[in-house]
Chains A and B, each alone.
Chain A
Amino acid sequence: MKTLIQLTVNGEPVEAAVDANRTLLQFLREDLELTGAKHGCGLGDCGACTVILDGKPVNSCLVLAVQANGRSVLTIEGLAENGKLHPIQQAFVDKGAIQCGFCTPGMILSAKALLDTNTKPTEIEIRTAISGNLCRCTGYQKIVQAIQDAAEAMTGKEGS
């Protein structure tokens, strides 16, 4: 039995019929072909599947597609505008915060959710905000630096 859902994905209205047990991650990756959210465990342990649901970062492998009904989802594909990287993405590129890149989409979205509510986070606030996003490559240091840089770039822009 499929359920009809209506939601907003990256600013666009989406309507679909989904199985009750389909996860939001499956729905995004397989039905909408938004493969930026990654499947690292399927159990809520790694954070590679992080998307922003109504402003909050969630592990989309733990959310059912039907639970997203009537809500707004932001995936990594919705962040760059007109081919221009979002300041967080740009900082990740510039700082060398990306190695294999498998954690990156989730990491960037966790950072975005943080910076949306806290424009000047401390290092420990940044580390806490991404503590649910595992990265095996970088040792996190350059990721933390990138988020600090992005925070500065973003507040600088607002201030001007």
Chain B
Amino acid sequence: MRDFQVLGARAPRLDAPAKSTGQAKYADDLTMSGMLHGALLQSPIAHGKILNIDTSKARKLKGVRAVVTAREAGLVKYGVSPARYDETLYCHEKVRYVGDEIAAVAAVDLETALEAVELIKVDYEELPAVFDMFEAMKEGAPQLHAEFPGNVTAEVHQEFGETGALMAQCDLVVDHTFLSKRQDAAFIEPHSCLAVFDLQGKLTLHTSTQVPHYVMRTVAMVLRIPVGDVRVIKPCVGGGFGPKSEATPLEMSACLLSKVTGRPVRMNYTREQVFLHSRARHQFYAEMSLGVKKDGTMLALRNKAVLDGGAYTSFGIATVYYSGSLLGGPYRLQAMKYDGWRAYTNKPACGAQRGHGGVAHRACFEQLLDKTADELGIDPVEMRLKNVMVAGQATINELNMSSLGMKECIEAVRDGSDWKNKKGKLPKGKGIGSACGFFVSGAGYPIYRSDTYHSTVVIKVAEDGGTVTVLTGSAEIGQGSDTMLAMIAAETLGIPLECVRVLSGDTEYSVDLGAYSSRQTLMTGHAAKEAAESVRRQIAEVLSVHMGCDAAHITFRNGNVLFRGGPGDFEKLRQGYIKEHRGWTDPPGGDYLTFREAARLAFLEKGTLVGTGKYKPPRLGGAYKGAAVGTSPAYGCSAQVVEVSVDLETGQVSVDNMTDAHDCGLAINLTSVEGQMQGSLSMGLGECLFEEVKFDSRGRIINASLGEYKIPTALDMPNVKSIVVESNEPNGPYGAKEVGEGAIMPTIPAILNAIYDATGVRINELPVTAERLYMAMKEKEKKP
């Protein structure tokens, strides 16, 4: 029986009042006296040799304080994965996409900086370019990187079990292919940063990032300054969703320009530059075969992937591994074979985005599952239930499902959507579809090979004992991590939530790998819990001496201290506290010794009360190549049922109802869990129905704006029936695990399966625009 005081509630977020009044500060809201403004010169062509860069005119422009190119910046290679550092801050020999950075300028104002950028003269020798992932891997294609011949950034070949032999034993083998499109994360806040070198030569970078820690390390490495001299502070961030999970040329340019000029430098991406920098969702091609028994038991899966990576690797190695590994569950398979390739093309680099690497392949697989169920004459929900894994099982690729409410999620959406009365019974033009998915609660390994802790947390108690401050480098980017940490600290210390303050997003506070791979709740949550336990233990030790009560029998609840479950005789301690605070108007009262009095006593004996906590996952996963990607201490999972209406005259799809169930372990803050679920669904709906970054024949993005690149508006999203399914995750703090990414997994296939139900047409290419669906329906009519 759980008995929480703070957890499992609907807590208003700590940062909501400031965000509702405009007081919350984002990077673009910060200014400093003497601040300069920076601007970037980016390549206008998709592929070319740089013959010469002439900055003389720009340098002479009045108001310009610095112009930097590869000559000033140096050529330190960087990227996300050390195995594929394939970027330099500025291009020196070649440009590889429209938008590749060549130089940066700092000037007294933005207009002057932009004018100076125009005055930099670059001579190019244009090279043939390649924009299609399949073309890029063909013989004779233009080559992007000499070090990676054939334009293959990463290649994966894995087999678990005997796929061929098992396929031969199957009663039925069904195939499906699927093509998704490049998506943009379209967070509403464009990247922004402000860098300042102080007179001691120490750098502080304020930046809209998901990962202050990795930005700190990359900036230090590329600009060749000691890590300890770099402080990265993340103010409020206006959404990340993945692409803000790596250091940007914007940040490094601002730092370099500040170093050169000795002045603070502010830099922003325009909305168009957000699209150019990208690092968002790849385009995926998937090809799969599923082998089953007549009764619907799944036996074997063959899976092939091709990813369009753009000009650099970014997160791409992990991405291409995820496309395979995340199909190991949530259904039992006896064999799985995966072959994946990620191609370089002359387009902006793709990286990690919500549901990293798994979304498109999940969409293909869940359609394939429906197709198979259809051929077998089995209800697709029943087929899912038949094959679903349960807690305690491991996937064929050795992902350990230490908790898994998958079955409960499927049942919840089946019942919540009234599936049984709708499936197969809706009129033509209306359809219902279902799908499942799961995701990691934090990557099992850091991006760079290291035994580092993934999170450390410091908790400090104010000298009067009344306020507890959580200090963490973790990144609140809108997902609610600050409030989650405050709740865990309050629960552990037995104090009300109002007594906790959170200072986060600063590399000076603690080590934290940041907000990516849905890791903050599980990993930072663990560290916060451990830090709070340390504080609690220190206070109990002091009290045990004064009260003559064994520390093991001292408990903390609702701001009170209990001795062997009762109040104990604490009058002397109270008098001592009140004496110290003569003249104060809020003396401690009540029948119990308060946390405040107890913590004050501990301070008087021990000095400032500080507790620290740390977390790193145990060694996880198999020993095969690539086993690190996909391993996690825990997995969240979700199921969805979607109902659509299709206008049979035009092919226009509208999503009428969505029923969504997610297992997040313990739901620390129910409101925030629902918020993550609903936000995930809207991002999935957009990707499914209208989002696509488009290019012209020369590699220029033709819809690099939020007007041309459509994301869902309030009129596109239906109300979602959100069902929180709770399990008790043994590896999570208080049983908690992820919700921010797993929730997007079923959305696209559930919509596609519903469209099939409505029209009898299987769409295997995104986005499902009215035109695409209309043409597919016409095509089907033609066939006998």
Residues of A within 8 A of B (CB): 29, 34-46, 48, 75-77, 79-80, 85, 89-90, 92-96, 98-105, 108, 126-128, 130-144
Residue of A whose beta carbon sits closest to that of B13: A98
Residue of A whose beta carbon sits closest to that of B185: A136
Min CB distance B234 to A, Å, is: 12
- Chain B residues with Cβ under 8 A from A138's Cβ? 675, 678-679, 682
- Chain B residues with Cβ under 8 A from A85's Cβ? 17, 20-21
Min CB distance B280 to A, Å, is: 12
Complex Cα spacing A133 to B188, Å: 10
Interface residue stretch chosen among B287-295, B326-334, B473-481, B645-653: B473-481
Residue of B whose beta carbon sits closest to that of A144: B714
- Chain B residues with Cβ under 8 A from A94's Cβ? 12
* CB <8 Å contact, B674 and A89: no
- Chain B residues with Cβ under 8 A from A95's Cβ? 671
The 10 sampled A-B contact pairs (Cβ below 8 Å) are A29-B29, A41-B707, A90-B20, A94-B12, A96-B672, A98-B15, A100-B189, A101-B20, A141-B719, A144-B719
- Chain A residues with Cβ under 8 A from B680's Cβ? 139
Per-residue contact bits, chain B 1-27, to A (CB 8 Å; 1 contact, 0 not): 000000000101101110111111110
* CB <8 Å contact, A93 and B22: no
When the two chains form the complex, which single residue of A34, A93, A137 contacts B16, counting CB atoms closer than 8 Å?
A93
Min CB distance B720 to A, Å, is: 6
Residues 669-688 of B contacting A (Cβ, < 8 Å): 671-672, 674-675, 678-683
Assess A77 versus B675: contact at CB under 8 Å? Given A35-B29, A127-B714. Answer: no
B705 interface residue per 8 A CB criterion: yes
Complex Cα spacing A126 to B475, Å: 32
Complex Cα spacing A131 to B21, Å: 21
What are the 4 closest A-B residue pairs judged by CB atoms, nearest first? A36-B22, A100-B478, A102-B238, A101-B19
Given contacts A38-B188, A45-B707, A77-B23, 17 further A-B contacts (CB under 8 A): A35-B26, A40-B188, A40-B190, A40-B706, A41-B271, A42-B270, A45-B706, A76-B22, A80-B21, A92-B20, A96-B672, A98-B19, A131-B714, A137-B679, A139-B680, A140-B714, A141-B678
B239 interface residue per 8 A CB criterion: yes
* CB <8 Å contact, A48 and B188: yes
* CB <8 Å contact, A43 and B705: yes
B124 interface residue per 8 A CB criterion: no
Residues 592-645 of B contacting A (Cβ, < 8 Å): none
* CB <8 Å contact, B22 and A105: yes
* CB <8 Å contact, A102 and B20: no
- Chain A residues with Cβ under 8 A from B21's Cβ? 36, 76-77, 79-80, 85, 89
Min CB distance B503 to A, Å, is: 18
B101 interface residue per 8 A CB criterion: no
B186 interface residue per 8 A CB criterion: yes
Complex Cα spacing A142 to B187, Å: 18
Complex Cα spacing A132 to B190, Å: 18
Residue of B whose beta carbon sits closest to that of A83: B21
The B contact surface, by secondary structure, is: loop
Complex Cα spacing A4 to B10, Å: 50
* CB <8 Å contact, A137 and B711: no
Assess A45 versus B672: contact at CB under 8 Å? Given A38-B189, A99-B478, A135-B188. Answer: no
The A contact surface, by secondary structure, is: loop
Min CB distance A44 to B, Å, is: 7
Residues 274-300 of B contacting A (Cβ, < 8 Å): none
* CB <8 Å contact, A134 and B706: yes
When the two chains form the complex, which single residue of A40, A45, A108, A133 contacts B20, counting CB atoms closer than 8 Å?
A108
When the two chains form the complex, which single residue of B10, B236, B477 contacts A96, counting CB atoms closer than 8 Å?
B10
Complex Cα spacing A86 to B707, Å: 31
B146 interface residue per 8 A CB criterion: no
B365 interface residue per 8 A CB criterion: no
Min CB distance B466 to A, Å, is: 21
B713 interface residue per 8 A CB criterion: yes
Min CB distance A154 to B, Å, is: 16
B237 interface residue per 8 A CB criterion: yes
* CB <8 Å contact, A98 and B678: no
* CB <8 Å contact, B20 and A104: yes
When the two chains form the complex, which single residue of A40, A75, A93, A140 contacts B271, counting CB atoms closer than 8 Å?
A40
Residues 19-49 of B contacting A (Cβ, < 8 Å): 19-26, 28-29
Residues 374-414 of B contacting A (Cβ, < 8 Å): none
- Chain A residues with Cβ under 8 A from B480's Cβ? 99
Assess A37 versus B679: contact at CB under 8 Å? Given A101-B238, A134-B706, A139-B720. Answer: no
- Chain A residues with Cβ under 8 A from B341's Cβ? none
Complex Cα spacing A55 to B185, Å: 33
* CB <8 Å contact, B679 and A136: yes
- Chain B residues with Cβ under 8 A from A103's Cβ? 188, 238
- Chain B residues with Cβ under 8 A from A135's Cβ? 188, 714
Assess A104 versus B19: contact at CB under 8 Å? Given A128-B715, A134-B188. Answer: yes
B241 interface residue per 8 A CB criterion: yes
Min CB distance A155 to B, Å, is: 20
- Chain A residues with Cβ under 8 A from B25's Cβ? 35
- Chain A residues with Cβ under 8 A from B712's Cβ? 139-140
* CB <8 Å contact, B239 and A102: yes
Residue of B whose beta carbon sits closest to that of A75: B22
B127 interface residue per 8 A CB criterion: no
- Chain A residues with Cβ under 8 A from B13's Cβ? 93, 96, 98
- Chain B residues with Cβ under 8 A from A38's Cβ? 26, 28, 188-189, 238
Complex Cα spacing A133 to B717, Å: 13
Residue of B whose beta carbon sits closest to that of A93: B16
- Chain B residues with Cβ under 8 A from A29's Cβ? 29
- Chain A residues with Cβ under 8 A from B20's Cβ? 76, 85, 89-90, 92-93, 98, 101, 104-105, 108
When the two chains form the complex, which single residue of A93, A105, A141 contacts B12, counting CB atoms closer than 8 Å?
A93
- Chain B residues with Cβ under 8 A from A36's Cβ? 21-23
When the two chains form the complex, which single residue of A35, A93, A130, A139 contacts B678, counting CB atoms closer than 8 Å?
A139
Residue of B whose beta carbon sits closest to that of A44: B707
- Chain A residues with Cβ under 8 A from B672's Cβ? 96
* CB <8 Å contact, B241 and A99: no
Complex Cα spacing A118 to B730, Å: 51
Min CB distance A121 to B, Å, is: 12
When the two chains form the complex, which single residue of B15, B188, B237, B478 contacts A46, counting CB atoms closer than 8 Å?
B188
* CB <8 Å contact, A99 and B28: no
Complex Cα spacing A10 to B16, Å: 22
Residues 476-497 of B contacting A (Cβ, < 8 Å): 477-480
Complex Cα spacing A142 to B237, Å: 20
When the two chains form the complex, which single residue of B24, B678, B681, B715 contacts A101, counting CB atoms closer than 8 Å?
B24
Residue of A whose beta carbon sits closest to that of B672: A96
- Chain B residues with Cβ under 8 A from A127's Cβ? 714-715
Complex Cα spacing A43 to B186, Å: 15
A104, A137, A144: residue with the most chain B Cβ atoms closer than 10 Å: A137
Min CB distance B674 to A, Å, is: 7
Min CB distance B26 to A, Å, is: 7
Complex Cα spacing A143 to B707, Å: 22
Complex Cα spacing A46 to B188, Å: 7
* CB <8 Å contact, B706 and A99: no
When the two chains form the complex, which single residue of A76, A80, A141 contacts B717, counting CB atoms closer than 8 Å?
A141
